[in-house]
Structure 1
Amino acid sequence: MTSNLPARIDDLPTSLVELAETLGMRVAVALIENFGGLELKLPARPRPDHPVIKALGEEDGYALFAYMGGGSMYVPHNRTTSARADILKLEAEGKDRAEIARILGISQRHVRRMANRREDPRQSRLFD
């Protein structure tokens, strides 16, 4: 998961500040930790086995659905470094791209871009 989780509301990605002010920092951090980089569908009436409820717990999970249910949200990650090597390693281990995004705390779109990017033959490599 993400190793550099925000400790203060000022350290959160801007898109999560209002959510943290309303539901608490604990909910915002748990979202980043469990779903960073993913687009979440938030049904108006979630089932008890919904992944968000399982990850956040019933109280925080249902509070999130009451606040944002019936739509979707992108949960930003808090990663600041390139993840291409990690992506290629996890892909070689047989993990799918959604799982890689969740493990690394980055978006599925970024995983796809990095995995599909070809190395520039004009650029020399520092390490083999």
Structure 2
Amino acid sequence: MTPPQARRPCLPERAEGVAPVRAPAQVAPFVDALGEDHAIRFLLNFGGAELTIPATPSPRGRLQETLGAEGAEALAAARDLLPRRIPLAKPWLARTLAARGMSTAQIARTILASDVSVRAWLKKTRGR
């Protein structure tokens, strides 16, 4: 039986002139190590559970399948700074994907949350 393919959402590019969404403390180490695009992919695929990041990523491992060789190596280099349990970070993901122009429904489907939750997270951001 072959392993399930990693979810690779088609992420829209951030529009020019749109500032990146500031990552909260729980997400910042991943964004610093991987960049925003790879951090989003990583959190969507591994968030919500423990993950032991190997010092040397396997060429056929799920990390490399999801992030590519460069991303897996960058994560391995920063592994001492990362929490063992990977955060879901749904509010940050919702804000980041909205800044990239995704609709509320698309965001809800991508991060596996209700549209009501997504709207609440986005509304909370606008109120700041």
Range class of TM-score, shorter chain: 0.3 to 0.5
TM-score, normalised by the number of residues in structure 1: 0.47
Q: Computing the radius of gyration over CA atoms, which structure comes out larger, 1 or 2? A: 1
Q: Which structure's residues are more often strand, by fraction?
A: 1
